[in-house]
Structure 1
Amino acid sequence: MHNIQNATNAAGLQNQIKVSTSVSTGVLGVSYPPSAGAFTSDALNFLQPIVGFLSSTGAPLLANIFPYFSYIGNPSQIAIEYALFMSPGPVVTDGQLQYQNLFDAILDAFYSALEKVGAGGVRVVVSESGWPSDGGQAASPENVQTYVQNLIGHVRKGTPKRPGNIEAYIFAMFDEDKKQPQGTENHYGIFHPNKQPKYNLNFY
């Protein structure tokens, strides 16, 4: 990251190109409640210098956030409506903050973890988020359309901890039909491998 930053500096592009890296929710040792969010000690060995670099350059941390995995990992405690942005009201109360969807709770756990390591000023960009349409529990065309459409509508609102726009990217453009082993990871695409749309989306 330092070498790439030096190269962008040398090219005079440091104000146009931000150097960062992506992490999964696996770096969070604690994610519930969101205010208790903290990185694992193993992850922190790598992340402490990384977030220091991000703080100094003004670059965001990229986080891949998939409520699907949290849901299937604990379906008895997590309602699918909470994972799909469909809860009619708050599900989790964390101090003064109330959470109506799992996406916000995970994202705010990242912000809490960053604050605990002195990097509260680092912005989080959601570099991947999606839901599978096949290959596993709760993986269906209806659920993926619900999740992605609701995600598009939600990102303008921000999270309870950080109101405002969320920069987020949908995973993925196409199904990865050749990926092995076969499972849910083959079925995240908006489009089938033959370029036909799997479902309709409104980017309003």
Structure 2
Amino acid sequence: MAHRSDALSMVPVLALLVSIIASYPRSVQSIGVCYGMLGNNLPSQADVVKLYQSNGITGMRIYSADSATLNALKGTNINLIMDVGLSDASSSSAADTWVNNNVKPYYPDVSFKYIAVGNEVSGGDVSNILPAMKNIYNSLSSAGLGSIQVSTSVAFGVLGTSYPPSAGAFSSDASYMTDIVQYLASINAPLLANIYPYFSYAGNTAQISLEYALFTSPGTVVTDGSNNYQNLFDAQVDALYSAMEKVGGSNVGIVISESGWPSAGGTDTTVDNAQKYNQNLINHVGKGTPKKPTPLETYIFAMFNENEKSAGVEQNWGLFNPNQQPVYSINFN
């Protein structure tokens, strides 16, 4: 046992260590990767889950309930976003059936984190998003699965104004987002958002620099009040935060349910640029954004190049080729 004087002398050292740990940027809670299955040459679901594990990938998103994937995920502690279509949640009975068939049999062996009710829903279906969310929420609660959060995944296009980030506001076509955001606030759930600086850059190379899109700008590009923006990703996320604040969602968080950069098929879609974007994204999101400097849970799109998607960029988002060899090196740690 240390003498009292020795113990007291350690107090300043311990205090210093605590302050260093507290000030050190925390790593993001989950860096996930979206697992799309639109390919006729992809590995088995069991092999895919092993690939996630061997690369230290701690989160997965799947776009429908897939029993083989769910069975392979049992006991892995990989956090899961699982999508459900609006038709499967169109009534309380439909939602009960879906939850009883696709969630309850696998819980708690599968680490369900979010159920995404619809992905980038548009057109006449937007009015069905919130009722479907409520149906799934109630079904999960009735089944004793209330710890699984319910949300929907939206495209950046729900914003009508995004510049500067503090002026972020939903478009008139996305007025339905007001009720969705307020519901998320009431159930303490985040909004899932698909954020793609690539598309904004590719659509406006005259005004957006490649460095700003790739996290490689040497200094501030946009100044917005007290916030300085060195990359487009932060600006887009903060514009979405601002839009939610304006409709009563100041306390609603954001989970990045998709983000990435294609390695071929379009404007500046090189392997080098894809590697830069995704590695810089991983390294960056633990710091959060200028508006919300807290870790931002993020899911990269996508695990594989998928040959059954539309030709061009759509087939080239993968971190891995179907033979499980990396398209480029990425460090998830």
Could you say whether these structures have the same fold, taking a TM-score greater than 0.5 normalized by the shorter chain as the test? yes
Q: What is the distance in 2 between the residues matched to 1:51 and 1:38?
A: 12
Q: Aligned AA for 2:332? A: F
Question: What is the TM-score normalised by the length of structure 2?
Answer: 0.60
Q: Which residue of 2 aligns with 1:145?
A: 275
Gaps of 5+ in 1: none
Q: Aligned AA for 2:276? A: T
1:128–1:171 CA contact under 8 A, matched in 2: yes
Q: Aligned AA for 1:38? A: A
Q: Which residue of 2 aligns with 1:80?
A: 210
Superposed, 1:107-118 pairs within 5 Å as 107-118=237-248
Q: Aligned AA for 1:138? A: D
Q: Aligned AA for 1:36? A: A
Deviation, structure 1 residue 193: 2.1
Q: What is the RMSD of the two structures over their aligned residues, measured on CA atoms? A: 0.8
Deviation, structure 1 residue 73: 1.0
Q: Aligned AA for 1:8? A: L
The structure where helix makes up a greater share of residues is 2
Q: Aligned AA for 2:185? A: S
1:177–1:193 CA contact under 8 A, matched in 2: no
Question: What is the TM-score normalised by the length of structure 1?
Answer: 0.96
1:156–1:166 CA contact under 8 A, matched in 2: yes
Residue 131 of structure 1: SS of its match in structure 2?
A: coil
Q: What is the distance in 1 between the residues matched to 2:229 and 2:307?
A: 35
- Identical-pair percentage: 62
1:155–1:167 CA contact under 8 A, matched in 2: yes
Gaps of 5+ in 2: 1-132
Is it true that 1:127 corresponds to 2:268 in the alignment?
no
Which stretch shifts more, 166-175 or 186-195? 186-195
Deviation, structure 1 residue 13: 1.7
Q: Which residue of 2 aligns with 1:189?
A: 318
Deviation, structure 1 residue 48: 1.6
- 2:174 is aligned, of 43, 50, 62, to 43
Superposed, 1:83-94 pairs within 5 Å as 83-94=213-224
Q: Aligned AA for 1:193? A: P
Residue 82 of structure 1: SS of its match in structure 2?
A: helix
Residue 20 of structure 1: SS of its match in structure 2?
A: strand
Superposed, 1:28-39 pairs within 5 Å as 28-39=159-170
Residue 104 of structure 1: SS of its match in structure 2?
A: helix
